[in-house]
Each structure stands twice: as structure tokens, then as C-alpha cells.
Structure 1
Amino acid sequence: MIKRNNSSNSDPVFHGNYEDKIAEIEKIIAQIESGNLELESVFDQFATAVEYLRQCETFLQQRQQQVDLLIETLSDD
């Protein structure tokens, strides 16, 4: 039996779900592009966006490994 975990909150590296992080990144990009932020805020927002992107990448890599394992398991049958 395959254990399914639908909650990304249980992942210690990934707090919140993937779609929420993508939405936050898009908001940050819009704020930076607006030109209304102080330079220091631009750097802070950029650093936040980079961290969110890293979290998303880790999440996707983990899910790809799970898919690869499932495909391998199915191929063995």
C-alpha cells in the first residue's frame, strides 16, 4: 500500500503549499517591477523570492523522486 501525503506542511523544508509560494513570488515580482519600493526593500523582497524559489525547487525534486520510484515499482511488476 502506498502512503499518500497530501499536505506539504509536513515537509520540514517546505512551509505552506507550492501554489501559495508561487503566488507570493508573483506578488514580489510585481512589487519590484512597480518601482515603488525603497532599494533596501527591493533587496529584501528579492532575497525572500529566492528563498521561496529554492523551497519550490526542493519540493518539486522530492516529488519527482517519488514519481520515479512509483514508475520503477510499476515497471518491476
Structure 2
Amino acid sequence: MAKKPSWKYEQTVDRVEEILAEIESGELELSEVVSQFAVAVESLQQCEDFLAQQREQVELLLENLGDI
């Protein structure tokens, strides 16, 4: 799943929170709820991928630190 060059974790989390608030408001049509839910799921997957990459990087740095 490719992320845009300007992609930011914090902004993506904020957007997911906005989407959830919109869904919880009860003001959206069902089709909009499903559409927004799909966007939220995709955004959360991007966040999960980002965090996994960051965790790998930290583990590598810690491993290298142990070699010093």
C-alpha cells in the first residue's frame, strides 16, 4: 500500500478520528457510512504499516547499539 510523499501518521490518525465522529453523529446516509468506513480502514492499515516499519528501524538501531 503506497503512501503519498506528504503522508503523515498524526494527520492520518486525526482524519480517522474525524471520520469516526461523522459516523457516530448519525447524520450520514448508510452509503456514506460505508464509504467513510472504508477510508478509515485503509488509513488505519497505512498507520499499521508505518508503525511496523518504524518498529523494525528501532529494533535494527538497538541491535547495532548492542554491537558497539
Partner of 2:45: 54
Structure 1 stretches of at least 4 aligned residues deviating more than 3 Å after TM superposition: none
1:13 aligned to 2:2?
A: yes
Structure 2: unaligned runs, 5 residues or longer? none
Partner of 1:27: 18
2:32 aligned to which of 41, 44, 67: 41
Looking at both structures, which has the greater relative contact order when contacts are Cα pairs under 8 Å and sequence separation is at least 6?
A: 2
**How much does 1:14 deviate?**
2.6
Which has the larger helix fraction? 2
How high is the sequence identity, in percent, across the aligned residues?
A: 50
Partner of 1:3: none
Name the TM-score, length of structure 1 as normaliser. 0.82
**How much does 1:60 deviate?**
0.3
For 2:63 and 2:54, the matched residues in 1 are separated by: 14
Q: Over aligned residues, Cα RMSD in angstroms?
A: 1.1
Structure 1: unaligned runs, 5 residues or longer? 1-11
